């Protein structure tokens, strides 16, 4: 099947563009991940996280695994937000149980100025090959979402060198050498836009920017150091491919206070964590953007009956009509029970048609 | 000096009650703490954290240490929010570098129903003795702030048994056995109100409730499981002592979206972290409550010149008039430089008079 074949299920794209749908589309952040035994098996075969994400066949396999189990309305590329800084030469590694780590963090203006902007088809070829392979294997069943980290979020890892609680180093740069941080963010905005644009060219039908750490900033710093650079990314990605509009979703965890500003970037949809009420958010942004979210992932630790009740509350809080993509407010946890994940997805199938048509 | 002697410096109390002041009062969360070498010395002498917090003389000593260095407008009792669950029999311990831990976490309805409500003068006598001693030693120079954890925040530690990233157990109780969690929170609200009331009777001139983990809840869950119980605490604490009103401050970290609701509890002031703009917050709550905050503590890693600039921005964002208590948006970190802390406090002294009178 050619990659330009029509989609069997285009609910995700329609909802992201506020076009009518018969029910609310659903996908879940980290739907391909450690909570699935088949994922853990493939991951073991790959030897390491980058052995998995860096191998197009294995990345395609784990991308498709949740779609074999669950009635999901989208696939999302299996990869990591840190592939871009890795391709910039920082040396990405994952220490067991410790999260990501860079061998060569970037802290001085000279180190920032020495960074190149990766050419996606040359320096991130394994990602582009994975996108092409997944599109082929999906055969038009559901759309494929591409993604990248936001410039600010990538900068936090690049400057800190590892996970951090207080963001001391990157905020030190922000407060004492803002020009150096702006230089880094400008380069990252360029790299991320090129990267997402290449994913679209390779077959991604929607793209999402994960701003995992925008919420640790003050409102003024968020606008200056995170949002402005996401706006550049939005402006730099082609928005149509194969005659269809390619929606862009921006997700700032902890950014519920700033959704009007996020919507003003020109994105098509805003991702929300569970600390903002969907109905309030919809009242604030109107029909300018779609909303994606926002069940507290911890609900999936509860019983299937409770899960269904909370799914119903999320659907009801958005209310009638299109413009909602059901998701969690954050990724699935490794310890979650696949049956509970299935209960969540089935509840969206069962309860959402009443909010449409 | 008797504990009912007039205060030499009552700026904190006046600002919390929106009465005119000549400059903005300043104190800093965790102003008594590990960033001070004299604290580390006393802590070493005490042998353990509870050896320190549990000894009124040593607790008084570390409470007063920052006031010897800095021109602060308040002392805050040196203690821990987990003294209340400890007095309920959970067995509090602090493993080095790991944070607090309970030997006997509370997870079932039977365990919850077996919990008693501590009598502060009997079961938390060391705290009450510390309050009395600090008041005597302060000699009316500045007011003493008492404090407690919010019922929800205490419940998170009591159910999880230790620090957690995902609040899986306490949210499990919330989703699957809400009646059990309500029973726990009701008991905690009673215990916290009694505890704060006893601190006021012993000499605390203002009290603050720390809701460190309210921000991990959805808006609906926040109202039901955190805010409603803080409202009970506010209603249960005596509000005047020695002929003066005793202000109550509520602080929910990550609660910037909910300040109208927080203000409606009947508290006198709302604490804010740095993710909410003080000027916006003031516009939203008007003169119903004072606001306390909200400099990003990471600014203190920057240079003194940068610190002064950011202090100026916080003061300007609140604007003219009374009703602002300068503070950080979260506690001081152990690695911070006391000279930078001093630069922050001096900047408030230098820059804030222009916003008053």
Contact flag A172-B298 (C-beta cutoff 8 Å): yes
Average pLDDT over residues B185-209: 98
Confidence at residue A243, expressed as pLDDT on a 0 to 100 scale: 87
- A175–chain B nearest CA distance, Å: 6
More confident position, A240 or B59: B59
Chain B: residue nearest A307 by CA? B175
Backbone angles phi, psi at A134, to 5 degrees: -65, -45
Chain B: residue nearest A218 by CA? B275
Element (H, E) at B203: none
Q: How far from each other are the two terminal CA atoms of chain A, in whole angstroms?
A: 32
Q: Which residues of A156-178 are buried (b: 16+ CB within 10 A; e: fewer)?
A: bbbbbbeebebbbbbbbbbbebe
Burial class (CB in 10 A: 0-12, 13-18, 19+), B116: exposed
Burial class (CB in 10 A: 0-12, 13-18, 19+), A263: buried
For residue A90, cis peptide bond before it (omega within 30 degrees of 0)? no
Chain B: residue nearest A329 by CA? B218
Neighbours of A37 (CB within 10 A): 10
- A83–chain B nearest CA distance, Å: 25
Average pLDDT over residues B61-79: 98
Instruction: Give tens-digit pLDDT for A251-308.
Output: 999 999 999 999 999 999 999 999 999 999 999 999 999 999 999 999 999 999 999 9
CA distances (Å), origin B230, targets A69, A117, A235, B78, B226: 44, 51, 45, 22, 6
> Mind giving me the DSSP string for B113-182?
HTPPPP-HHHHSHHHHHHHHHHHHHHTTSS-EEEEEE-HHHHHHHHHHSB--SS-HHHHHHHHH-HHHHH
Contact flag B217-A313 (C-beta cutoff 8 Å): no
Confidence at residue B2, expressed as pLDDT on a 0 to 100 scale: 43
CA distances (Å), origin A331, targets A273, A274, A302, A327, B217: 10, 12, 16, 9, 16
**Does residue B294 sit in helix, strand or coil?**
strand
Could you confirm whether A107 is annotated as catalytic? no
Contact flag A256-B257 (C-beta cutoff 8 Å): yes
| pLDDT at residue B237 tops 90 | yes
Catalytic residue among A35, A39, A157, A195: A157
What single DSSP character describes residue A26? B
Instruction: Identify which of A216, A217, A276 has the shortest CB distance to residue B219.
Output: A276
Average pLDDT over residues A38-66: 96
- Give the integer Cα–Cα distance in Å for A267 and A246: 10
Cα dihedral: A261, A266, A271, A275 (round 10): 10
- Give the integer Cα–Cα distance in Å for B3 and A253: 48
Mean per-residue pLDDT of chain A = 96
Could you confirm whether B43 is annotated as catalytic? yes
Confidence at residue B4, expressed as pLDDT on a 0 to 100 scale: 58
Of the pLDDT bands very low, low, confident and very high (cuts 50, 70, 90), residue A2 is very low
Instruction: Give tens-digit pLDDT for A128-143.
Output: 999 999 999 999 999 9
Burial class (CB in 10 A: 0-12, 13-18, 19+), B272: buried
Q: Which residues of B touch A298 (CB under 8 A)?
A: 166-168, 171-172, 175
| pLDDT at residue A87 tops 90 | yes
Catalytic residue among A43, A187, A232, A282: A43
Contact flag A257-B254 (C-beta cutoff 8 Å): no
Confidence at residue B172, expressed as pLDDT on a 0 to 100 scale: 94
A340 touches A10 (CB < 8 A): no
Chain B: residue nearest A308 by CA? B175
Backbone angles phi, psi at A145, to 5 degrees: -95, 130
CA distances (Å), origin B63, targets A222, A235, A301: 35, 53, 42
Confidence at residue A1, expressed as pLDDT on a 0 to 100 scale: 38
Q: Which residues of A touch B301 (CB under 8 A)?
A: 168, 171-172, 175
Query: β-pairing, A240-241 with A244-245?
Result: antiparallel
Query: β-pairing, B240-241 with B244-245?
Result: antiparallel
A32 touches A145 (CB < 8 A): no
Catalytic residue among B80, B86, B197, B211: B80
Half-sphere exposure of B275 (CA within 13 A, CB side): 22
B281 touches B291 (CB < 8 A): yes
Q: Which two tokens stand for residue B25?
A: 């009062």
Of the pLDDT bands very low, low, confident and very high (cuts 50, 70, 90), residue B88 is very high
Q: Which residue spans within B186-322 are E strands per DSSP?
A: 206-211, 240-241, 244-245, 248-252, 269-271, 290-295
Residue with tokens 């152990």: B334
Chain A: residue nearest B176 by CA? A302
Q: Which residues of B touch A347 (CB under 8 A)?
A: none
| pLDDT at residue A29 tops 70 | yes
Q: Which residues sit opposite A94 in a β-bridge?
A: A100
Catalytic residue among A30, A101, A135, A282: A30
A164 touches A101 (CB < 8 A): no
Of the pLDDT bands very low, low, confident and very high (cuts 50, 70, 90), residue A5 is low
Confidence at residue B43, expressed as pLDDT on a 0 to 100 scale: 96
Contact flag A218-B274 (C-beta cutoff 8 Å): yes
Of the pLDDT bands very low, low, confident and very high (cuts 50, 70, 90), residue A4 is low
Instruction: Give tens-digit pLDDT for A164-217.
Output: 888 999 999 999 999 999 999 999 999 999 999 999 999 999 999 999 999 999
Q: Which residue spans within A151-285 are E strands per DSSP?
A: 206-211, 240-241, 244-245, 248-252, 269-271
Chain B: residue nearest A334 by CA? B166
CA angle A280, B149, B196 (to 5 degrees): 120
Contact flag A176-B218 (C-beta cutoff 8 Å): no
Instruction: Identify which of B219, B276, B302 has the shortest CB distance to residue A176.
Output: B302
Could you confirm whether A80 is annotated as catalytic? yes
Q: What percent of chain A is modeled with pLDDT above 90?
A: 92
Contact flag A280-B219 (C-beta cutoff 8 Å): yes
Give me the sign of the Cα torsion angle B183, B187, B190, B195.
Answer: negative
Instruction: Give tens-digit pLDDT for B289-336.
Output: 999 999 999 999 999 999 999 999 999 999 999 999 999 999 999 999
- Give the integer Cα–Cα distance in Å for B251 and B267: 10
Instruction: Give tens-digit pLDDT for B108-156.
Output: 999 999 999 999 999 999 999 999 999 999 999 999 999 999 999 999 9
List the one residue out of A124, A114, A103, A24 whose CA is nearest residue A347: A24
Q: Which residue spans within chain B are E strands per DSSP?
A: 75-76, 92-95, 99-102, 144-149, 206-211, 240-241, 244-245, 248-252, 269-271, 290-295, 324-328
Cα A126 to its chain centre, rounded Å, is: 18
List residues of chain A with CB under 8 Å from any CB of chain B: 166-168, 171-172, 175-176, 215-222, 254, 256-257, 274-277, 280, 296-299, 301-303, 306, 310, 313, 333, 335
Cα dihedral: A183, A187, A193, A198 (round 10): 180
Q: Which residues of B touch A280 (CB under 8 A)?
A: 219
What would you report as the CA-atom Rg of chain A, rounded to the nearest whole angstrom? 19
- A34–chain B nearest CA distance, Å: 16
């Amino acid at each position: 099947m050619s990659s330009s074949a029509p989609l069997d299920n285009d609910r995700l794209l329609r909802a992201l563009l506020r076009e009518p749908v018969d029910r609310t589309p659903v996908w879940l952040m980290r739907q391909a991940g450690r909570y699935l035994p088949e994922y853990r098996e493939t991951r073991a075969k790959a030897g390491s996280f980058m052995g998995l994400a860096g191998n197009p066949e294995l990345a395609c396999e784990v991308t498709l695994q949740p779609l074999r189990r669950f009635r999901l309305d989208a696939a999302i590329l299996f990869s990591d937000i840190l592939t871009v800084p890795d391709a910039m030469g920082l040396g990405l590694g994952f220490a067991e149980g410790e999260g990501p780590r860079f061998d060569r963090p970037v802290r001085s203006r000279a180190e920032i100025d020495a960074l190149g902007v990766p050419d996606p088809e040359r320096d991130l070829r394994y990602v582009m090959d994975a996108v092409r392979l997944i599109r082929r294997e999906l055969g038009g069943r559901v759309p494929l979402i591409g993604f990248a980290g936001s410039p600010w979020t990538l900068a936090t890892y690049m400057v800190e060198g590892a996970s951090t609680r207080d963001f001391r180093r990157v905020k030190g740069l922000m407060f004492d050498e803002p020009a150096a941080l702006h230089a880094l963010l400008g380069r990252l905005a360029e790299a991320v836009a090129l990267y997402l644009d290449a994913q679209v060219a390779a077959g991604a039908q929607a793209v999402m920017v994960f701003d995992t750490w925008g919420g640790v900033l003050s409102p003024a710093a968020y606008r200056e150091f995170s949002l402005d650079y996401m706006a550049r990314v939005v402006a730099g990605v082609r928005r149509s491919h194969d005659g269809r509009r390619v929606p862009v979703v921006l997700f700032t965890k902890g950014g519920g206070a700033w959704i009007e500003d996020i919507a003003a970037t020109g994105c098509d949809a805003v991702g929300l964590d569970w600390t903002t009420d969907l109905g309030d958010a919809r009242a604030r942004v109107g029909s300018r953007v779609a909303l994606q979210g926002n069940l507290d992932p911890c609900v999936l630790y509860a019983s299937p009956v409770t899960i269904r009740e909370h799914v119903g509350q999320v659907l009801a809080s958005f209310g009638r009509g299109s413009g909602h993509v059901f998701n969690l407010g954050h990724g699935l946890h490794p310890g979650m029970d696949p049956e509970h994940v299935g209960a969540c997805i089935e509840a969206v199938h069962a309860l959402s048609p009443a909010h449409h048509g």
